[in-house]
Amino acid sequence: MDLHDVKKLAVIRLSSLGDILLATPFIRSIKKSYPEIEIEFILKEQYKYLLLCNPYLSKIHAYKTDSPEYKSFLFDELKKEKFDLVIDLQKNLRSGEIVRALKTDTAAFNKRSIAKFLLVNFKINRLKNSPPIPVRYAESLDDFSLDNEGLDLYLPENVSSVLSSRENYIGLVPGSRHFTKMWPREYFIELGIILTGEGFKIVLLGGESDKQICREISESVPRALNLCRGDNLFQTAADMKKCCALVCNDSGLMHVGCAVKVPVLAVFGSTVKEFGFSPYGNKNLVLENNSLSCRPCSHVGRESCPKKHFKCMLDLKPALAFDKLKILLNSR
- pLDDT-derived band at 110 (thresholds 50, 70, 90) equals very high
Rounded CA separation 214/203 (Å): 9
- pLDDT-derived band at 51 (thresholds 50, 70, 90) equals very high
Residue 106 neighbours by CB distance under 10 Å: 18
- pLDDT-derived band at 131 (thresholds 50, 70, 90) equals very high
Q: What is the pLDDT of residue 229?
A: 82
Rounded CA separation 43/132 (Å): 21
3-state secondary structure of 229: coil
Q: What is the pLDDT of residue 70?
A: 86
Nearest to 11 by CA among 35, 40, 34, 32: 40
12-46: pLDDT as tens digits: 999 999 999 999 999 999 999 999 999 999 999 99
- CA dist 290 to 273, 280, 297, 307, 327, Å? 11, 20, 13, 16, 19
274-321: pLDDT as tens digits: 999 999 999 999 999 999 999 999 999 999 999 999 999 999 999 999
3-state secondary structure of 105: strand
Peptide bond into 296 cis (omega under 30): yes
Residue 298 CA from chain centroid, whole number: 17
The overall average pLDDT reported for the chain is 96
Nearest to 175 by CA among 214, 226, 217: 214
Distance from the first to the final alpha carbon of the chain? 40
- What average pLDDT does the segment 256-280 reach? 97
**Could you tell me the residue ranges of all domains in the chain?**
3-138, 169-330
Q: Helix H segments across 9-67?
A: 17-22, 24-33
Residue 5 pLDDT > 80: yes
Q: What is the pLDDT of residue 177?
A: 93
> Right CATH number for 169-330 from 3.30.70.3450, 3.30.465.10, 3.40.50.2000, 3.40.630.10?
3.40.50.2000
Of 230 and 145, the one with more pLDDT: 145
- pLDDT-derived band at 67 (thresholds 50, 70, 90) equals confident
164-194: pLDDT as tens digits: 987 899 999 999 999 999 999 999 999 999 9
Q: Is 328:320 a contact under the CB 8 Å cutoff?
A: no
**What's the pTM?**
0.96
Q: At residue 159, what are phi and psi to the nearest 5 degrees?
A: -100, 125
Rounded CA separation 183/299 (Å): 17
Q: Look up residue 65 and give its amino acid.
A: T
Q: Is 67:45 a contact under the CB 8 Å cutoff?
A: no
Q: What is the pLDDT of residue 66?
A: 80
- What average pLDDT does the segment 146-162 reach? 96
Q: Is 270:298 a contact under the CB 8 Å cutoff?
A: yes
Residue 332 pLDDT > 80: no
Rounded CA separation 252/35 (Å): 29
Largest CA distance in the chain: 61
- What average pLDDT does the segment 156-164 reach? 94
Percent of the chain exceeding pLDDT 90 equals 94
Residue 205 pLDDT > 80: yes
Residue 2 pLDDT > 90: no
Q: Which fold has domain 3-138?
A: Rossmann fold (3.40.50)
Rounded CA separation 148/28 (Å): 11
- pLDDT-derived band at 231 (thresholds 50, 70, 90) equals confident
Q: Where does residue 261 fall: left (phi above 0), alpha (psi -120 to 50 degrees), or beta otherwise?
A: left
Residue 78 neighbours by CB distance under 10 Å: 20
- pLDDT-derived band at 71 (thresholds 50, 70, 90) equals confident
Q: Indicate if the alpha-carbon torsion angle 202, 180, 254, 229 is positive or negative.
A: negative
